[in-house]
A and B are shown apart, each in its own frame.
Chain A
Amino acid sequence: MTDQEILAGLAEIIDEIAGVPADEVTPEKNFVEDLDIDSLSMVEIAVAAQDKFGVEIPDEQLKDLKTVQDVVNYVSKNS
Chain B
Amino acid sequence: MKGGGERLPAGVNPLGGTAGGARILAFGGYQPDNVVTNDDLARRVDTSDEWIRSRVGVVSRRIAGPEETVTDMATAAGGKALAGSGLSAGDIDLVIVATCSTEVPIPNVSASVAHRLGIAAPGAYDLNAACAGFCYALANASDAIRAGSARNVLVVGAERMSAWMDWDDRSTCIIFADGAGAAVVGPARAGGPDGIGPVVWGSAGDLAERITIPGRNAGLRQDGQAVFRWTTTALHPVALQACERAGVKPRDVSVFVPHQANLRIIEAIARKLGIPRERVADDIIHAGNTSSASIPLALARMAERGELEPGTPALLLGFGAGMCYAAQVVTVP
Residues of A within 8 A of B (CB): 38-40, 43-44, 46-47, 59, 62
What is the 8 Å Cβ interface bit string for chain B, positions 215-240, against chain A (1 contact, 0 not)? 00000000111101100110000000
A38-B54, A38-B55 as given contacts; A44 in contact with B232, CB under 8 Å: yes
Closest to B226 in A: A59
Residues of B within 8 A of A (CB): 54-55, 223-226, 228-229, 232-233, 264, 268
In the complex, what residues of A have CB within 8 A of residue B225's CB? 39-40, 43, 59, 62
In the complex, what residues of A have CB within 8 A of residue B232's CB? 43-44, 47
Contact of B268 among A38, A44, A46, A62 (CB under 8 A): A44
* Main DSSP-derived SS at the B contact region: helix
In the complex, what residues of B have CB within 8 A of residue A46's CB? 229
Closest to A59 in B: B225
Residue in A40, A44, A47 with the greatest tally of chain B CB atoms within 10 Å: A40
6 contacts between A and B (CB under 8 A): A39-B225, A40-B264, A43-B225, A43-B229, A43-B232, A62-B225
CB distance from A39 to the nearest CB of B (A): 6
CB distance from B269 to the nearest CB of A (A): 12
CB distance from A51 to the nearest CB of B (A): 10
In the complex, what residues of B have CB within 8 A of residue A62's CB? 225
A38-B55, A59-B226, A62-B225 as given contacts; A47 in contact with B264, CB under 8 Å: no
Closest to A39 in B: B225
In the complex, what residues of B have CB within 8 A of residue A40's CB? 55, 224-225, 228, 264
In the complex, what residues of B have CB within 8 A of residue A59's CB? 223, 225-226, 229
**Cα-based distance from A27 to B278 in the complex (angstroms):** 37
CB distance from A71 to the nearest CB of B (A): 16
**Cα-based distance from A42 to B228 in the complex (angstroms):** 11
**Cα-based distance from A39 to B224 in the complex (angstroms):** 9
**Cα-based distance from A51 to B54 in the complex (angstroms):** 26
Residue in B223, B229, B232, B264 with the greatest tally of chain A CB atoms within 10 Å: B229
In the complex, what residues of A have CB within 8 A of residue B54's CB? 38
**Cα-based distance from A39 to B54 in the complex (angstroms):** 12
**Cα-based distance from A33 to B268 in the complex (angstroms):** 23
CB distance from B38 to the nearest CB of A (A): 16
**Cα-based distance from A38 to B232 in the complex (angstroms):** 16
CB distance from A37 to the nearest CB of B (A): 12
